[in-house]
Chain A
Amino acid sequence: MGFGYSTTVFGEAVFNTGMVGYPEALTDPSYSGQILTLTYPLVGNYGVPDPSKKDKDGISEHFESDRIQARGLVVHDLSMTANHWNLSLTLDEWLYNEKIPGISGIDTRELTKKLRINGVMMAAIAVSEKEIDESDLKKKLTSAQKYVNEEFMNVVSTKEPRVYGTESETVVVIDTGVKNAILRNIRKIGYKVIQLPWNVSIDKILSYKPKGVVLSNGPGDPQKCADTMKTAKELLNKNIPTLGICLGAQIMGLAGGADTFKLKYGHRGQNKSCINLDNNQVYVTSQNHGYGIDPDSLKKSDFKLWFSNADDKTVEGIKHKEKKFIAVQFHPEASPGPFDCKFVFEELKRLMEEEKTAKR
Chain B
Amino acid sequence: MYTIPVNPQYVESIIESERPDGLMLGFGGQTALNCGVKLEEFGILKKYGVKVLGTQVEGIHAAEDRQLFKDSMMACGVPVLKSKTVYNFEEAKQIAKDLGYPVIVRVAYTLGGKGGGVAHNEIELYEIVLRGLNASLVGQVLIEEYIGHWKQIEYEVMRDYLGNNVIVCNMENVLSMRVHTGDNIVVAPSQTLDNNEYHMLRSAALRATQHVGIVGECNIQFALDPESDKYVAIEMNPRLSRSSALASKATGYPIAYMAAKIVMGHSLPELVNRITKTTTACFEPSLDYIVCKHPRWDFTKFELANRSLGPTMKSVGEVMAVGRCFEESLQKSIRMLEIGDDGLVANRDNGKIFDIEEIENKLQNTDNGILYYVAAALRQGMSVEQIYKLSVIDPWFIEKIQNIVEMEKNLKDSKFTTKLLRNAKKLGFSDKQIGRIIGKDDLEVRKIRKDAGIIPAVKQIDTLAAEWPAKTNYLYLTYGGDTNDFEVQSDQEKIIVLGAGPYRIGSSVEFDWGTVNMVWGLQENGVKEVSVINCNPETVSTDYDICNRLYFEELTLERILDIADFEKPTGIVTAVGGQTANNLTPKLAKNGVKIIGTSFQDIDRAENRSKFSHVLDELHIMQPLWQAFVKLSDAKKFANNVGFPVLVRPSYVLSGAAMKVVWSQTQLKKYLEEATNVSPDYPVVITKFMLNSLEVEVDGVCDGKNVVIGAVIEHIESAGVHSGDAMMCIPPWRLSNKVIETITDYTTKIATAFSIKGPFNLQFLINSDQVYVIELNIRASRSMPFVSKFVKLNLINLAARAVLGKTLPKIPKDRWRKIHSYGIKVPQFSFMQLEGADIILGVEMQSTGEAACFGDSFYDALSKGLISVGYSLPKEGNALITAGGAENKEKLLQTAVLLKNLGYKILATEHTAEFLSDKRIGNVEVVYKISEPQRKPNIADLLYERKINFIINVPSTATLEKYVGMLYDEYQIRRKAVELGIPVLTTTELADSFAKTLEWLLHNETTKKPLEPYESFN
Q: Which residues of A contact B (CB under 8 A)?
A: 15, 17-21, 23-24, 39-42, 45-46, 49, 76-77, 79, 81-86, 107-110, 112-113, 116, 269-273, 275, 280-282, 284, 310-311, 334-340
B587 at the A/B interface (Cβ < 8 Å)?
no
Q: Measured between alpha carbons, how far is A109 from B394 in the docked complex, in Å?
A: 28
Known: A45-B192, A271-B286, A273-B283. 17 other contacts (CB 8 A): A17-B465, A20-B190, A21-B194, A23-B194, A39-B466, A45-B396, A46-B396, A76-B480, A79-B399, A85-B226, A85-B227, A109-B288, A109-B459, A116-B469, A270-B284, A275-B269, A339-B202
- Name the CB-closest residue of B to A335: B195
Q: Measured between alpha carbons, how far is A84 from B395 in the docked complex, in Å?
A: 9
Q: Is the CB of A40 within 8 A of B287?
A: yes
B373 at the A/B interface (Cβ < 8 Å)?
no
Enumerate chain A residues within 8 angstroms of B467, measured Cβ to Cβ.
15, 17, 39, 112, 116, 269
- Across the interface, B166 reaches (CB within 8 A) one of A23, A76, A284, namely A284
Q: Is the CB of A280 within 8 A of B466?
A: no
Interface string of B209-226 (1 = CB under 8 A from A): 000000000000000001
Interface size class on chain B is 35 or more
Enumerate chain A residues within 8 angstroms of B457, measured Cβ to Cβ.
107
Q: Is the CB of B480 within 8 A of A41?
A: yes
Contact A271 B282, CB 8 Å, known A39-B465, A110-B483, A336-B195:
no
Q: Measured between alpha carbons, how far is A336 from B467 in the docked complex, in Å?
A: 18
Shortest A129–chain B CB gap in Å is 18
Enumerate chain B residues within 8 angstroms of A271, measured Cβ to Cβ.
283-286, 464
**Helix, strand, loop or mixed for chain B's interface?**
loop
Contact A273 B280, CB 8 Å, known A76-B480, A113-B466:
yes
Enumerate chain A residues within 8 angstroms of B980, measured Cβ to Cβ.
none
Q: Which of B289, B290, B465, B481 is most buried by chain A, counting CB atoms within 10 A of its CB?
A: B465
- Across the interface, A272 reaches (CB within 8 A) one of B206, B228, B283, namely B283
Q: Measured between alpha carbons, how far is A311 from B108 in the docked complex, in Å?
A: 53
Enumerate chain B residues within 8 angstroms of A39, measured Cβ to Cβ.
286, 288, 465-467
- Across the interface, A273 reaches (CB within 8 A) one of B282, B287, B289, B466, namely B282
Q: Is the CB of B195 within 8 A of A21?
A: yes
Q: Is the CB of A19 within 8 A of B283?
A: no
Enumerate chain B residues within 8 angstroms of A20, measured Cβ to Cβ.
189-190, 193-195, 198-199
- Across the interface, B288 reaches (CB within 8 A) one of A40, A86, A270, A335, namely A40
Q: Measured between alpha carbons, how far is A49 from B482 in the docked complex, in Å?
A: 33
Q: Is the CB of B283 within 8 A of A284?
A: yes
B601 at the A/B interface (Cβ < 8 Å)?
no
Q: Is the CB of A41 within 8 A of B286?
A: no
Residues in B283-304 with C-beta less than 8 Å from chain A: 283-290
Enumerate chain A residues within 8 angstroms of B166, measured Cβ to Cβ.
273, 284
Interface string of B313-349 (1 = CB under 8 A from A): 0000000000011100000000000000000000000
B279 at the A/B interface (Cβ < 8 Å)?
yes
Q: Is the CB of A338 within 8 A of B199?
A: yes
Q: Is the CB of A79 within 8 A of B482?
A: no
Can you give 7 A-B contacts (C-beta < 8 A)? A45-B192, A81-B395, A82-B396, A86-B194, A116-B467, A311-B278, A335-B195
B268 at the A/B interface (Cβ < 8 Å)?
yes
Enumerate chain B residues within 8 angstroms of A15, measured Cβ to Cβ.
467
B625 at the A/B interface (Cβ < 8 Å)?
no
Enumerate chain A residues within 8 angstroms of B394, measured Cβ to Cβ.
83
Q: Is the CB of A107 within 8 A of B199?
A: no
- Across the interface, A109 reaches (CB within 8 A) one of B193, B280, B284, B481, namely B481
Enumerate chain A residues within 8 angstroms of B167, measured Cβ to Cβ.
284
Shortest B950–chain A CB gap in Å is 53
B30 at the A/B interface (Cβ < 8 Å)?
no
- Across the interface, A281 reaches (CB within 8 A) one of B164, B286, B324, B399, namely B164
Shortest A280–chain B CB gap in Å is 7
Contact A85 B228, CB 8 Å, known A20-B193, A39-B465:
yes
Q: Measured between alpha carbons, how far is A79 from B325 in the docked complex, in Å?
A: 10
B733 at the A/B interface (Cβ < 8 Å)?
no
Shortest A134–chain B CB gap in Å is 17
Q: Measured between alpha carbons, how far is A21 from B199 in the docked complex, in Å?
A: 10
- Across the interface, B290 reaches (CB within 8 A) one of A41, A113, A273, A338, namely A41
Contact A310 B199, CB 8 Å, known A42-B290, A77-B324, A84-B192:
no
Q: Measured between alpha carbons, how far is A112 from B469 in the docked complex, in Å?
A: 11
Q: Closest 5 A-B residue pairs measured CB to CB?
A: A21-B195, A39-B465, A271-B284, A17-B286, A107-B481
- Across the interface, A19 reaches (CB within 8 A) one of B189, B206, B278, namely B189
Residues in B238-297 with C-beta less than 8 Å from chain A: 268-269, 278-280, 282-290
- Name the CB-closest residue of B to A111: B466
Enumerate chain A residues within 8 angstroms of B48, measured Cβ to Cβ.
none
- Name the CB-closest residue of A to B457: A107
Q: Is the CB of B465 within 8 A of A112?
A: yes
Shortest A310–chain B CB gap in Å is 4
Enumerate chain A residues within 8 angstroms of B482, measured Cβ to Cβ.
107, 110
- Name the CB-closest residue of B to A269: B286
Enumerate chain A residues within 8 angstroms of B279, measured Cβ to Cβ.
310-311
Q: Is the CB of A339 within 8 A of B203?
A: yes
B420 at the A/B interface (Cβ < 8 Å)?
no
B468 at the A/B interface (Cβ < 8 Å)?
yes
B191 at the A/B interface (Cβ < 8 Å)?
yes
Interface string of B458-482 (1 = CB under 8 A from A): 0100001111110000000000111
B310 at the A/B interface (Cβ < 8 Å)?
no
Q: Measured between alpha carbons, how far is A85 from B192 in the docked complex, in Å?
A: 10
Contact A108 B288, CB 8 Å, known A77-B325, A280-B162, A310-B269:
yes
- Name the CB-closest residue of B to A47: B194
Shortest B858–chain A CB gap in Å is 56
Q: Is the CB of B465 within 8 A of A282?
A: no
Shortest B395–chain A CB gap in Å is 4
Enumerate chain A residues within 8 angstroms of B284, measured Cβ to Cβ.
270-271, 284, 338
Q: Measured between alpha carbons, how far is A270 from B166 in the docked complex, in Å?
A: 12
Contact A45 B191, CB 8 Å, known A85-B228, A112-B467:
yes
Enumerate chain B residues within 8 angstroms of A84, measured Cβ to Cβ.
192, 194
Shortest B220–chain A CB gap in Å is 16
Enumerate chain A residues within 8 angstroms of B79, measured Cβ to Cβ.
none
Q: Measured between alpha carbons, how far is A76 from B465 in the docked complex, in Å?
A: 13
Enumerate chain A residues within 8 angstroms of B269, measured Cβ to Cβ.
273, 275, 280, 282, 310
Shortest A218–chain B CB gap in Å is 21
Enumerate chain A residues within 8 angstroms of B326, measured Cβ to Cβ.
42
Q: Measured between alpha carbons, how far is A338 from B155 in the docked complex, in Å?
A: 14
Q: Is the CB of A41 within 8 A of B289?
A: yes
Q: Measured between alpha carbons, how far is A270 from B189 in the docked complex, in Å?
A: 14
- Name the CB-closest residue of B to A268: B467
Residues in B167-207 with C-beta less than 8 Å from chain A: 167, 189-195, 198-199, 202-203, 206
Q: Is the CB of A281 within 8 A of B162?
A: yes
- Name the CB-closest residue of A to B399: A81
Q: Measured between alpha carbons, how far is A282 from B279 in the docked complex, in Å?
A: 13
B983 at the A/B interface (Cβ < 8 Å)?
no
Enumerate chain B residues within 8 angstroms of A113, measured Cβ to Cβ.
466, 485
B163 at the A/B interface (Cβ < 8 Å)?
yes
Enumerate chain A residues within 8 angstroms of B278, measured Cβ to Cβ.
311
- Name the CB-closest residue of B to A81: B399
Q: Is the CB of B287 within 8 A of A19?
A: yes
Enumerate chain B residues within 8 angstroms of A116, measured Cβ to Cβ.
466-469
Enumerate chain B residues within 8 angstroms of A83, measured Cβ to Cβ.
192, 394-396, 399
Q: Measured between alpha carbons, how far is A275 from B283 in the docked complex, in Å?
A: 11
- Across the interface, A42 reaches (CB within 8 A) one of B163, B199, B325, B469, namely B325
Q: Measured between alpha carbons, how far is A41 from B480 in the docked complex, in Å?
A: 9
Contact A76 B324, CB 8 Å, known A20-B193, A109-B466, A271-B283:
yes
Q: Is the CB of B466 within 8 A of A281?
A: no
Enumerate chain A residues within 8 angstroms of B268, measured Cβ to Cβ.
282
Q: Measured between alpha carbons, how far is A335 from B195 in the docked complex, in Å?
A: 7
Enumerate chain B residues within 8 angstroms of A82, measured Cβ to Cβ.
396
Q: Which of B163, B191, B286, B467 is most buried by chain A, counting CB atoms within 10 A of its CB?
A: B467
Q: Measured between alpha carbons, how far is A334 from B194 in the docked complex, in Å?
A: 13
Q: Is the CB of B194 within 8 A of A46?
A: yes
